[in-house]
Amino acid sequence: MVSFKTRRREPELVPPARPTPRETKLLSDVDDQHALRYYETVIGFFRRCGDESDGPDDLAEVVRAALAEALVYYYPVAGRLREEAEGKLVVECTAEGVAFVEADADVRLEDFGEPLLPPYPCVEELLCDAGDTRTVIGRPLLLMQLTRLKCGGFVAGFHMCHNIADGFGIIQLMITIAELACGTKAPSILPVWKREILSTTRSTSPITHPNPSYEPLLNSLDYASESDDVMLSTTLDEMVVDYFVFGPREMKTLESYVRGCLTHPATSFELLTAVMWRCRTIALGYKPSQPVRLMITMNARGRWNRHTLIPLGYYGNAHFSPIAELTVDELCRQPLVDTVELVRRTKLSVTKECMESMVDTIASLRQRPCADPARTYEVSDTKWIAAGNGLQLGWAEYVGGGIPVAGDLTSKLGSDHMRCKNQDGEDSTVVSMLLPRPAMERFKKEMAVWLNKHDEKNLIIQSSL
């Protein structure tokens, strides 16, 4: 992989371009989770289009001005978080601004690999220094670095406080910046705050009957009985990140195991999640009688949600994580079709009543210790936040990006499904996986069996981590 260092200018604070309301805004109970007190990372790669004379002479100045104009609409992002009584967070809309760093790198877009897939080399050079990413109070809520490349392309790297926005919200803000950089007078989608729609209407005292989808999570908080998970006891420097690419050929092979056995065809997410959960469980060597859990992060903006409508433009956290639980023996002995059906049922379990109960449960857990639940595989389908045509600039096109690191900054359990192109230029899915080194070797061998591959090295893109 290519190695390089960026030349960064000093960070500067960019305030809103015009006066904005000075007020205090409440977060939703979904926003105000201790688990979200960190900076989420998103990165975007752009290729310059047309003649070299196309586009602005001073890219950084155009983007900086567009960022300032975007903050007129997203003015809470220019404020600061404050902690109130009982540790509840609020946003003080102070217009202090967000951090912006201008940088240059002596590399070309093609040096990052073709096709453009994670892990991206020297990704830390494309992101400004966020300091302690778990400290969010009293700091800029957004940090952006714009890195110009030798070929005329550029990279936009974002750190954004997760309490303020989820992945969809960050992409929505990126699209607004892109539109304003192209000269539009206002965003095509106006931002919506309305955090009260995902806040509880009941007391946040401990609830007697938590939502059933969260009971496995509550049970796992009994740390004394859950301390034997190798995922939790292994330090990060003894773990490895790999990325697995599944193109049409691989998906056809996996579909052959369930073809004709399902009422409705499995989605790529359902099928990949079922297979990878089984392979991961075997690789980690859990005992047959131990319970293992699948936690699915669901975007409430999805087409499945017809009952609690999330307004167009809502950029706060709008996700829920229902959990399925089986013993190791049950998971690994049942037919794959049963695991796929379980993944599907878990997704469909999030009804209106379920969402309301989940909000209540989240609110009641806000002051509980925050730790990874044992023997849990947490998976997110982030293909839906792919910017695609929404980030076209006329003189530059979005060519790839997304979440540049595997394993959440506060959790080692996260696995993300992202959109990509494979070596043949076909639409594919790349899935991140973080495991202890010995477990990763076992995981690759298990996956090779399912995919009828004799050489498991053909499955992955090796991480440089």
User: Measured between alpha carbons, how far is 372 from 137 in angstroms, rounded to an integer?
Assistant: 22
3-state SS assignment for residue 45: strand
Q: Is 133 helix (H, G, I), strand (E, B) or coil?
A: coil
Q: Is 209 one of the annotated active-site residues of the chain? A: no
Alpha helices in 182-214 (DSSP H): none
Sequence-separated (6 or more) residues with CB below 8 Å from residue 371 = 221, 223
Place of tokens 């009985």: 225
Count Cα atoms within 13 angstroms, Cβ side, for 312: 4
Answer yes or no: are the C-beta atoms of 70 and 176 closer than 8 Å.
yes
Whether 387 and 173 have beta carbons less than 8 Å apart is answered as no
* Alpha-carbon radius of gyration of the chain: 22
What's the number of CA atoms in the CB half-sphere (13 Å) around residue 78? 25
Enter the DSSP assignment of 53.
T
| Alpha carbon distance 410, 288 (integer Å) | 28
**162 neighbors 37 (Cβ within 8 angstroms):** yes
Q: Choosing from 159, 162, 319, 417, which is the catalytic residue?
A: 162
The conformation of residue 16, written as its DSSP 8-state character, comes to -
Torsion over CA: 285, 368, 318, 350 (sign): positive
| Residue 138 backbone class (left: φ over 0; alpha: ψ -120 to 50; beta: rest) | left
Strands lying side by side in the sheet with 89-92 = 24-26, 89-92, 80-83
d(CA 38, CA 236): 18
State which H helix or E strand residue 146 sits in. Answer: strand 142-149
Beta carbons within 8 Å of 366's beta carbon, 6+ residues apart: 29, 32, 33, 34, 87, 88, 204
**Tokens linked to 438:** 């010995």
* ∠ Cα 150 154 157 (to 5°): 135
Task: Tell me the β-bridge partners of 400.
Answer: 45
Are the C-beta atoms of 210 and 364 separated by less than 8 Å?
A: yes
Catalytic residues: 162
